[in-house]
Structure 1
Amino acid sequence: MIRSAAPTQIVFLDRATLPPQTRLRALPFEHVLRMFDRTAAAEVAQRMRDAEIVVANKTPITAEALAAAPRVRMIAIAATGTDNVDLQACAARGIVVSNVRDYAVHTVPEHTFALIFALRRSLLAYREAVRAGRWLETGQFCFFDFPIRNLAGSTLGIVGAGALGRATGAIGRALGLRVLFASRSAQTHQQSGADSREERVPLDTLLAHSDIVSLHCPLTPATHHLIDADAFARMARRPLLINTARGGLVDEAALVKALQSGQISGAGFDVVSEEPLPVEHPFQALLAHPGFILTPHVAWASEEATQALADQLIDNISGFYAGQPRNVVRPH
């Protein structure tokens, strides 16, 4: 909570990470808000120096930057993921960290299935073939150059049973998919009070039996490179791999080899370990591959979702100022 005769100093380090049409409601207390489209790592400490509240989406906030900003009392993350913030350093200082939750419960699952449909039905490959004149060349009403598979009757394996994973599972069941969730123990289902239609299995079982594997878990030290060369070797059904969560969950060099060798039948990614995609990134080798789709981290960014995010962000800041912090994130 902040109580001062002077206006509260707030800095938004990366406003350009939200669409320009997204409206930020006025805060209900006297303040000075400085906004920067983006902030380089070398600029973070200086821009935070006089701030009491720091707003950031993906800008890294390190212990070193916090040490140079003694007035900071709150960090309001304009996203769900907080892997860009040193949570231990914040806890040691008593800095409240709040994030935005469940705003993407429709947009991310919808994007997930957009990738799934496009890959299972080879939509982009057929579009490119038509553009190149292949349809006319065949001399008949259709052609069959690329595989087309139904979703109904297939198995969807979901890693991450939070709001996004569950929403993805609900869509999958509606489309006739069998849905599996990765679990660390056979008892998790009963202990969690999970939906009785969910089938919880160990990750190895999920990888072996899924036709589609979709990632919806946070990036932590425990989940870094969760999907690696060994995991690809266990994917007996040559599934699609979908990642709309975090790039670091997958060993990206191993993914390239798995797709090129046929260990998996396709991959749809909205995230990479380094964004924007560097020119030397392993995924550059796949950008023309008919079984690979990469979108620029926009699964979360429907107009409805980004406005809900902005509204919740303002609510988090207002709640902290009023002494009732919301959506507080603790160190792992």
Structure 2
Amino acid sequence: MKILHIGKQGNLERYLPKDSALLNMALVDLPIDQPAETYLKDGADADFIVVDAIAPVPGELIRKMPNLKLIHSEGVAFNQIDLKAAADCGVYVCNAKGMNAAAVAEQAVLLMVGMLRNAIQGDAAVRAGRQIEVKGGYIARGDLLELSDCAVGLIGYGDIAQATARLLRAYGVSKIYYNKRRRLSEAEEQAQGVCYAPVKTLLQKSDIVSLHLPVNAGTVHFADQAFFDAMRPGSYFVNTARGELVDDQALIEALETGKLAMAGLDTLDDEPVGADHPLLNQSEAVEKKIIFSPHIGGITRKSFFRSYRMIDEAVCAVCAGRRPEHVVNGR
């Protein structure tokens, strides 16, 4: 058996369980963004592809690998894999569903608290010798919020959003709104401490809105001008999902006008992000209203160990003639 790995080289040795049978399989370990011919040179006869969540796996590659049985994303995303070509060739495509839920939820809450406490500007103020000035301003205005002061809206309610809701409850947040295509049962809502709301209602009721949607044809620029116009004045926006969900110009306008107090962004459109990205070239007033993190929400060490445990189980299932879990291409 042979594995073609497309991603950060050495990941299989780093993250697979030490007793995994996969470690005894032949391995072709190559970086992302190579032409199909490069992968086919040594990997055309591979039985399995393990691939970085953002790396493309085109039909051209899939159709030229006659032994291929399974393509497994290292992460949750799989939109760069040609699902139809895989299904036509009888190849399972799986993702590591839920592998990074706890990690991304932590990142979402980190950005929420970081905005409410204006952590970046607070750090800069202390370094500039303005600690007491800034502290005194908060005392005089009485406007420093706790997370439990806020109603939080979660748009998309999969594994990550549900993990975020659990953390929010631990912070004492009592008003958590959610939106998803299929509403939970009343018993599930009560158990999870959440309340369903249509998107517009959620935007109007929430002090903090957090995106947890996948990217597809219907969600690109989901957060557009109408979206931000519907939010509460002075509210906060978090995106730990995908940068393509946000219309950057609409976000900039919402920050400029004060419609948004701040935005916390773990991901931007058009990654890898260059110095010329529009969100990085704004006035000082707008720049102070954004907290960036370098798309690290889902790449904790523990997340990768969870992912590779799923990959190990899926490959073993296919080798034993069983259908693996988390199949995303209808095989």
Once the two structures are superposed, the pairs formed by residues 1-332 of structure 1 within 5 Å of their partners are 8-16=1-9, 22-23=15-16, 25=18, 27-28=20-21, 31-41=25-35, 46=40, 48-57=43-52, 58-135=54-131, 138=133, 142-144=135-137, 148-177=144-173, 178-184=175-181, 188-190=183-185, 193-196=188-191, 197-285=193-281, 289-324=287-322, 325-330=324-329
Q: Secondary structure at the match of 1:15?
A: coil
1:10 Cα offset (Å): 1.1
Kindly tell me: are residues 190 and 23 of structure 1, through their superposed partners in 2, closer, same or farther at Cα, counting changes over 3 Å?
Answer: closer
Q: Deviations over 1:38-94 (max 9, x none)?
A: 343566653553322111012111223323434322101111111111112211221
Task: Tell me the C-alpha RMSD between the 2 structures.
Answer: 2.8
Question: Normalized against structure 1, the TM-score is what?
Answer: 0.86
Cα distance in 1 for residues equivalent to 2:262 and 2:12:
30
User: Are the equivalent residues in 1 in contact too, given 2:56–2:81 (CA < 8 A)?
Assistant: yes
User: Are the equivalent residues in 2 in contact too, given 1:17–1:37 (CA < 8 A)?
Assistant: no
Kindly tell me: are residues 27 and 286 of structure 1, through their superposed partners in 2, closer, same or farther at Cα, counting changes over 3 Å?
Answer: farther
Which structure shows the higher helix fraction? 2
Cα distance in 2 for residues equivalent to 1:128 and 1:299:
24
Worse-superposed segment, 285-294 or 19-28:
19-28
Cα distance in 2 for residues equivalent to 1:17 and 1:80:
20
User: Are the equivalent residues in 1 in contact too, given 2:51–2:73 (CA < 8 A)?
Assistant: yes
User: Are the equivalent residues in 1 in contact too, given 2:36–2:60 (CA < 8 A)?
Assistant: no
Query: Structure 2, unaligned stretches of length 5 or more?
Result: none
Cα distance in 1 for residues equivalent to 2:186 and 2:310:
31
State the identity as a percent: 26
Number of positions where the alignment pairs a residue of Structure 1 with one of Structure 2: 320
Kindly tell me: are residues 322 and 247 of structure 1, through their superposed partners in 2, closer, same or farther at Cα, counting changes over 3 Å?
Answer: same
Kindly tell me: are residues 17 and 184 of structure 1, through their superposed partners in 2, closer, same or farther at Cα, counting changes over 3 Å?
Answer: farther
Query: Structure 1, unaligned stretches of length 5 or more?
Result: 1-7
User: Are the equivalent residues in 2 in contact too, given 1:266–1:292 (CA < 8 A)?
Assistant: yes
Cα distance in 1 for residues equivalent to 2:87 and 2:159:
26
Kindly tell me: are residues 331 and 278 of structure 1, through their superposed partners in 2, closer, same or farther at Cα, counting changes over 3 Å?
Answer: farther
Worse-superposed segment, 10-19 or 95-104:
10-19
Cα distance in 2 for residues equivalent to 1:26 and 1:11:
20
Question: Normalized against structure 2, the TM-score is what?
Answer: 0.86
1:98 Cα offset (Å): 1.2
User: Are the equivalent residues in 2 in contact too, given 1:55–1:76 (CA < 8 A)?
Assistant: yes
User: Are the equivalent residues in 1 in contact too, given 2:211–2:239 (CA < 8 A)?
Assistant: yes
